[in-house]
Every structure is written in structure tokens, then in C-alpha cells.
Amino acid sequence: MEKMYPPVVNSPKTELTELITDTQTEIAVANASVLLPGEGIAVLGNGDVAETITYTSVEENVLKGCVRGFEGIARAWPVGTRVARNFTAADFRAVQDNVTEANGKVATLNSAVTDIDTRVNTLNNTVTDKTQDASLTKKGVVQLSKTVDGTRDDIAATESAVKTAYDLANSRETPAGAQAKANAAETNAKNASLSRGGGSLEGGLNIISEADILNLVGSTHVYIGFYPKGIPNGRKGYLGFGDPGNTDFSISNPTGKLVLSDQSGGMDLKNLIHLYQGNGSPEGTLSAPVGALYRRWDGGVGTTLYVKQSGDGNTGWRAV
């Protein structure tokens, strides 16, 4: 960012107390208190022959470390020459350059947000593509059936188990004995499957599919919830549409931070993006860390972009 010097209200003036050459770097003035304390910028003279200088410090009405001809041509000036903190072309250029740079950073942040959206969509597609039906070796979505003469092994209670009980009942088993075995087989099959009406899976789940789609349909809320085992009322997270009628797809962690991580480490999403926008000035109304940006929709010249320069509360905003 280009250096920007603070303004001085009404641009009060002082004057030289001694003649200076065009190379002199320490300049004595009558009243340095009307200029910027410490590092600053000032204009010698006025009109077409004015000279803008910068200085690094002020000691007893002496401007030290002066850079001569910062704007204009360095000249020798007589006693009584006007010295003031005017708004200069350098001030204007610094504002322009800094706003341009800030807009570039905003564009970079917007690109990062787009990348996050792309990753979320990829994750959603992966979950959908990997969902499959249950089998004898893998848990999954399964359809229940009471057929007693089938041979399929991919629906529950499995038709092969019920068929075995049915054949035994017709050969040697009594109706009561055959029914008992059939009931046991059906119970075992149900315990090993996941009903379409819902249930729980214990252990890992591998979902492999090339073309099938998993549709999650709810009357109001549609989301995937994540609950660490043993903490039903503690940590949890959501992925999906959390509010009735809401068309925004959300990734939510209501009890902690949302962290993005890779092999180099993790970053709190809140600390990744500090870009705000709205109507009115953020000063006194919006809390944010140092370095945050705020775009004001109803702003004008000099009040469209704000930078958080100090503190982490709702003060310390400055328009740029």
C-alpha cells in the first residue's frame, strides 16, 4: 500500500524563519505545531512555483530529514515563505493506488470464495456418486420383502434365507418350527440391513458407484448431520439445506469453528475472509479485526471503502 499522510483541518500555515538553499534538509519554521507531528508532508510557497517536501521528524520547530522537491522543483526560499500541510497530488495518487490495490485484494478474496463453493459442490457430487445399494458384504440402502419363494440375496429379509426356511417347513419341519426359523432368519437379515425408513450404521461405510444418485428428501430441513459418538448433545455439524424453504446450501458448525485444512495446516474460515459490506459507516457499528475491508453501498467520494486500522471492536475504521 502507498503511504498516506493524515490531513490537517483547514490547512493552517506557518513560515520559514531563515533562508534555505535548494539542498537543505533541515528547515526551521515559526510554528511546527500546525504541521503533522513526526513524519509528514508540507508545501513551501504557493501557486506555480510551490515545492512539496516530506520530512521524517520535527524537533523544536525544525523539520528534519527533508526530501526536497518531492513534488515540484527544489528551490532556495527566503525568510517568511509560507509553509502548510496542503492536500497534494501525491496525496491523491496514494489514495487512487491504494483503492486500486484494495480492489485487487477484494477480487482475490472473491476468487477464494468461488473456489470454496466449487470444492463444496465437488464434495456433494462425491457423496451422491458413491452411494450404493446394500449387498451380502456391504451395508447400504435396502428394500424389505416378505416373499417366501424368491432366490435373490440383495433385498431384506433376504429371499434365500426365507426360501430355506420355507423348504424345510414343507419337508420335515412342523409349521410352528418352520415359522420360528423363518422369523429368526428374517430378524437376522433385518439386523444386518438398513431399512428405507431409517436406522443406524455401526462402523465404516464404503460407498462405490459410477452413475447412481443419492437423493435426500425432507419435508422441511434437508441436511447431513455429523455427531461424534458418545456426545449426542455436544459437537455437531451440518451439510445441506438447514432452514425450511431456504435455497442456500450451507456448511455449518454451530458449536465451534469451521476450519479448512490441508497438509500444510488448517485455517479458521472466519480468519480467512474479513470482507464486509452494507449501508452507512461501519464506525461504531461493525466489529472486525485490523485489516478488514468494508464496502459502503451508499457511500460517495472518499466514503466508499473503509479499512479497519486499529482494535478489534467496532471503532478504528477509516475511509480511504
Segment 284-305, tens digit of pLDDT: 999 999 989 999 999 999 899 9
| Pair type for strands 293-296 and 275-278 | parallel
Long-range contacts of 229-236 (CB under 8 A, 24+ apart): none
Residue 256 lies in a domain: no
Task: Based on the fold, state whether residues 136 and 206 are members of the same structural domain.
Answer: yes
Residue 29 lies in a domain: yes
Residue 114 lies in a domain: no
Predicted confidence band of residue 212 (pLDDT cuts 50, 70, 90): low
How far, in Å, are 19, 32, 42 from residue 63 at the CA level? 14, 8, 10
> Which residues are within 8 A (CB) of 226 and not within 5 positions of it... i.e. 6 or more apart?
236, 237, 238, 239
Structural domain span for residue 148: 132-210
In the chain, what percentage of residues exceed pLDDT 70? 71
- The number of distinct structural domains making up the chain is 2
Rounded to a whole number of angstroms, the CA Rg of the chain reads: 37
Residue 166 lies in a domain: yes
pLDDT in tens, 68-99: 999 999 999 999 999 999 999 989 999 999 99
Place of cell 525544525: 62
Higher pLDDT, 253 or 70: 70
Q: Tell which of 195, 210, 225 closes a domain.
A: 210
Task: Based on the fold, state whether residues 143 and 198 are members of the same structural domain.
Answer: yes
Task: Based on the fold, state whether residues 137 and 197 are members of the same structural domain.
Answer: yes
Q: What integer pLDDT is reported at residue 175 of this predicted model?
A: 77
Residue 191 lies in a domain: yes
Q: What integer pLDDT is reported at residue 72 of this predicted model?
A: 93
Residue 172 lies in a domain: yes
DSSP class of 149: S
Task: Based on the fold, state whether residues 136 and 83 are members of the same structural domain.
Answer: no
Predicted confidence band of residue 138 (pLDDT cuts 50, 70, 90): confident
Q: Tell which of 210, 237, 256 closes a domain.
A: 210
Place of cell 510554528: 31
Q: What integer pLDDT is reported at residue 131 of this predicted model?
A: 65
Residue 238 lies in a domain: no
Q: Tell which of 210, 233, 253 closes a domain.
A: 210
